[in-house]
């Protein structure tokens, strides 16, 4: 049986036209066919945890504890559950993994505290940092320290956890999160980790999978379905942004 690694995946949400009944769009990426795990699949940004995500120095940078969003609690009820409850330290490390992976794959830096000098900085200004990370010339912690940023992880809400089934040759214990990004945020997907990206309404994403126009793992489909079925998407946006 394959060893199980910890990982994080992030549902990035933005608001469309406020007069539209279906307010949400979610950000999806397509993994390159060369990837060992889920090649060619449509996924949310994310990836495996790294040792630096667990360093004690993060305690001085993280200003809050992780939230759980009740509107996505149904994601915890499936055969993909991991029954053990992670500790506070593991929760924090999972969010750090989530923030780092979103930055590496999309160029967007989520979770910045509102008192930061440049919240939601233009990804173009951060390209050199991302390249340094990918080249292993610096760590994500080094970058956050250099930018003098504090992280408010209450902006990034727990949505559920899934365990890759035993028959998979590569297995992950993945924590799913949901957070919002401003509509004007420019996404700059990494050419080595992303072959295509798109902002999609959850119902459209679900329909693409049903028509077999995209490949999706079961947890991703669950997220599409859960968000598409929400009867009060405005409430979700208000809840996420009030933090």
Please tell me the predicted confidence (pLDDT) of residue 104.
Answer: 94
∠198-80-77 over CA atoms, to 5°? 95
pLDDT band at 75 (very low <50, low <70, confident <90, very high): very low
Q: How far apart are CA 224 and CA 221, in angstroms?
A: 5
Q: Tell me: the pLDDT tens digits for 11-63? A: 999 877 656 555 789 999 999 999 999 999 999 999 999 999 999 999 999 88
* 3-state percent helix, strand, coil for the chain, nearest multiple of 5: 35, 20, 45
**Domain annotation for the chain: domains and CATH numbers:** 4-241 (3.90.79.10)
pLDDT band at 78 (very low <50, low <70, confident <90, very high): very low
Q: How far apart are CA 3 and CA 28, in angstroms?
A: 27
Residue appearing with tokens 């405005």: 234
pLDDT band at 234 (very low <50, low <70, confident <90, very high): low
Q: Tell me: the pLDDT tens digits for 135-157? A: 889 999 999 998 888 888 888 88
How confident is the prediction for the chain on average, in pLDDT?
Answer: 82
C-alpha distances in angstroms, 92 versus 59, 60, 61, 172, 230?
Answer: 9, 12, 11, 18, 28
pLDDT at 69 over 60: no
Both tokens of 22, joined, read: 């279906």
Q: How far apart are CA 177 and CA 198, in angstroms?
A: 18
pLDDT at 121 over 60: no
pLDDT at 241 over 60: no
pLDDT at 77 over 60: no
Q: Tell me: the pLDDT tens digits for 178-193? A: 888 888 888 999 999 9
Please tell me the predicted confidence (pLDDT) of residue 106.
Answer: 94
Please tell me the predicted confidence (pLDDT) of residue 15.
Answer: 76
Burial class (CB in 10 A: 0-12, 13-18, 19+), 88: exposed
Please tell me the predicted confidence (pLDDT) of residue 70.
Answer: 45
pLDDT band at 239 (very low <50, low <70, confident <90, very high): low
Report the half-sphere exposure of 5 (CA within 13 A, side-chain side): 13
Please tell me the predicted confidence (pLDDT) of residue 128.
Answer: 87
69-78, 86-95, 231-240: segment of lowest average pLDDT: 69-78
């Amino acid at each position: 049986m394959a060893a199980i690694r910890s990982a994080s995946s992030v549902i990035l949400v933005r608001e469309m036209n406020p007069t539209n009944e279906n307010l949400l769009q979610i950000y999806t990426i397509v993994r390159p066919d060369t990837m060992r795990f889920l090649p060619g699949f449509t996924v949310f940004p994310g990836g495996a945890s790294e040792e630096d995500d667990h360093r004690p120095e993060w305690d001085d940078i993280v200003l809050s504890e992780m939230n759980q969003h009740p509107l996505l609690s149904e994601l915890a009820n499936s055969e993909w559950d991991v029954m053990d409850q992670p500790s506070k330290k593991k929760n924090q490390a999972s969010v750090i993994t989530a923030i780092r992976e979103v930055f590496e794959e999309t160029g967007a830096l989520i979770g910045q505290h509102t008192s930061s000098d440049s919240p939601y900085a233009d990804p173009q200004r951060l390209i050199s940092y991302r390249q340094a990370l990918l080249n292993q010339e610096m760590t994500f912690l080094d970058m956050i320290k250099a930018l003098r940023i504090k992280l408010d992880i209450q902006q990034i809400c727990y949505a559920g956890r899934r365990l890759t089934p035993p028959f998979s040759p590569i297995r992950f214990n993945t924590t799913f999160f949901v957070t919002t990004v401003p509509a004007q945020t420019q996404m700059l997907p990494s050419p080595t980790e992303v072959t295509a990206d798109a902002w999609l309404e959850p119902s459209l994403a679900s329909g693409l999978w049903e028509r077999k126009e995209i490949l999706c793992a079961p947890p991703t489909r669950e997220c599409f379905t859960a968000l598409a079925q929400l009867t009060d998407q405005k409430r979700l946006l208000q809840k996420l942004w009030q933090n």
